[in-house]
Amino acid sequence: MRKLVALVGVIAILEGLTGVLNQIIAGDPTIPLRLFDHFNRLVVERAAFLDGYEIWANAALAVVGVVLSIVARARVQA
């Protein structure tokens, strides 16, 4: 289960960072950036309440990914 959470965390980090880069570039992204830009294209660009907050939404996704990765690597103390 920890490996799955860590994998989701890494994917969230990649999705968030590529979304931020695509918003900064503000053009047609290159192929490597397109591979991990699903959150930006499918959620951020279609959600009306995120208009003007695209960079913040992608940055928040990257932060969530970091938190998930940290939680997955944390040791359980009994």
pLDDT in tens, 14-71: 989 988 888 888 766 666 666 777 787 788 888 889 888 988 999 999 999 999 999 9
Residue partners of 60: CB distance under 8 A and separation at least 6: 16
- 46: in domain: yes
Q: Is 78 a residue whose pLDDT tops 90?
A: no
Cα angle: 73, vertex 63, 5; to 5 degrees: 35
Q: Is 5 a residue whose pLDDT tops 70?
A: yes
Number of domains in the chain: 1
- 60: in domain: yes
DSSP letter for each residue of 20-58: HHHHHH-S---HHHHTT-HHIIIIITT-GGGTT-HHHHH
- 49: in domain: yes
Alpha carbon of 66 to those of 4, 29, 52, 70: distances in Å? 14, 24, 24, 6
pLDDT for position 13: 93
- 78: in domain: no
pTM of the model: 0.82
Domain that holds residue 6: 2-73
- 43: in domain: yes
pLDDT for position 10: 92
